[in-house]
Structure 1
Amino acid sequence: MTAWIGNNLLIDTVRITLPAGEPVFNDTTGEMDYPPGDVLYEGPGAVQGSSAQAEIVSTPTQNLPWVSETTSRYRLMTPLTAPIAGKDAIVTVVGVHDTARTALLGRSWIVTDPGRAGTVEVVRITPLDQIQAEVTP
């Protein structure tokens, strides 16, 4: 099963970086940017969105009485030999197997919890939340 998953699911290239500090305000974009950190892992992997609508949760910020953005549930799959990504690590897809599927390139996610563990494992699954970015037309 592990070989099948490696050959059929973990076919893109993902990079996991450790945060190098607190986010810094970017005057140009008006967004908070994370400083580049050390690369923990770069290799085969897959990022998948959840198909369950119940897993998309609205979260208010501390200063606003209304919801400002959603929590977008994704999951990262990596081989069991890959290091465990700790909470707040940044995941980026840096290569895709199909040139028609480039929508993931340049998007980033933050690890919400370390990789899940179980008694029977064939792939490491790590919960992610997409880092919200302004969409440009």
Structure 2
Amino acid sequence: MLAQSAIARFAERHLMPDKVEVTRGSGDDMLDPETGDLIPVLPTVVYADQAGLYGHQERIRSRGGHDGAWVEEVRPGYRMLLPLTAPEVWENDTVLVVEARDEQAVGRTYRVTALGEVSSFPVLRTVWLEEHNRKLAAR
């Protein structure tokens, strides 16, 4: 039987080829005591290292419209895989793709939509994301 640490190393090596930067910021302003101006609080980098990003479609059924009919909607989502050694990622943290095998992913940002999953047999961290912003590459 494979050891848990061997599976974790395999996952890190083969499922996490990209580099991301996860930041956390309150989005609030703080008072600059010298000028009396409100200045934005800079986000804090909580993780900057390897990850794997994988697309995921979510089907949602809800009552929509004025007639109350059920509407089925497909929303794109993303799953981010992190090593076990990564710090806990919080809801509303921002993920920036710094390097990726797929060059179109570089520069995209995502918002963490839920706390990371936990498991009785952890080999990696899974975090759910939604696309936040796509920076267009210079042509």
Return 11-20 or 85-94, whichever deviates more. 11-20
**Segments of 4+ moved more than 6 angstroms:** 134-137
Q: State how many pairs are aligned.
A: 110
Partner of 1:16: 22
Taking structure 2 as the reference length, the TM-score comes to 0.68
- Of 3, 8, 18, the match for 1:2: 8
In the TM superposition, residue 105 of structure 1 has moved relative to its aligned partner by 0.6
Segments of structure 2 that go 5 or more residues without pairing to the other structure are: 1-6, 29-39, 63-73
Query: Is 1:110 aligned to residue 111 of structure 2?
Result: yes
**Based on CA coordinates, which of the two structures has the bigger radius of gyration?**
2
Name the amino acid aligned to 2:22. I
Name the amino acid aligned to 1:47. L
In the TM superposition, residue 72 of structure 1 has moved relative to its aligned partner by 2.6
Write the mapping of 1:29-40 to structure 2, written as runs, cut at 5 A.
36-40=42-46
Flag the 1:57–1:91 CA change in 2: closer, same or farther, 3 A: farther
What is the rounded CA distance, in whole Å, between the counterparts of 2:108 and 2:25 in structure 1?
A: 16
Partner of 1:44: 50
| Contact map agreement 2:107 2:134 (CA 8 A) in 1 | no
What is the rounded CA distance, in whole Å, between the counterparts of 2:61 and 2:94 in structure 1?
A: 21
Query: Is 1:80 aligned to residue 84 of structure 2?
Result: yes
Name the amino acid aligned to 1:91. V
| Contact map agreement 1:71 1:129 (CA 8 A) in 2 | no
Flag the 1:110–1:41 CA change in 2: closer, same or farther, 3 A: same
Structure in which a larger fraction of residues adopt strand = 2
Segments of structure 1 that go 5 or more residues without pairing to the other structure are: 23-33, 60-69
Partner of 1:122: 123
Taking structure 1 as the reference length, the TM-score comes to 0.69
In the TM superposition, residue 110 of structure 1 has moved relative to its aligned partner by 0.3
What is the rounded CA distance, in whole Å, between the counterparts of 2:13 and 2:113 in structure 1?
A: 27
Q: Root-mean-square deviation (CA), in Å?
A: 2.9
1:99-125 per-position Cα deviation (integer Å, ceiling 9, x unaligned): xx2011111110011111111111100
Name the amino acid aligned to 1:21. G
What is the rounded CA distance, in whole Å, between the counterparts of 2:42 and 2:55 in structure 1?
A: 25
Indicate the percent of aligned positions where both proteins have the same amino acid: 25
1:8-65 per-position Cα deviation (integer Å, ceiling 9, x unaligned): 111110110002415xxxxxxxxxxx97511000001111111x4xx05599xxxxxx
